Amino acid sequence: MPAVIEAPVEMIEAIADLRFPSKTDQLLQSLMDRNTEGKLTLGEREKLEGLVELNQTIALVRAKALQVLGRKPSADR
């Protein structure tokens, strides 16, 4: 049986609002564009893979927080 952990609503809302900083988001987009063009170096490819993995993890954590809050993700983010 899973344990139930209580957390303040403000904490769950902060988790639901997690995003990459603008500069990191721009880097991710740039690396994805360069990947599409086939122009990534090995180092850039490793950075892209790490950022994509982190982005997916954040998305999963945010989705769970939104579920707890009874909210759906907004289309603009």
Cα→Cα distances 52→3, 6, 14, 71, 77, Å: 30, 30, 21, 24, 16
Please write the tens of the pLDDT for every residue from 38-77. Answer: 999 999 999 999 999 999 999 999 999 999 999 887 755 4
> CB of 25 within 8 A of CB of 55?
no
Domain boundaries, the chain: 20-69
Please write the tens of the pLDDT for every residue from 20-38. Answer: 999 999 999 999 999 999 9
Cα→Cα distances 10→19, 27, 65, 67, Å: 16, 29, 11, 14
pTM above 0.75, yes or no: yes
Longest dimension (CA), the chain: 49
List the structure tokens of 45. 């490819």
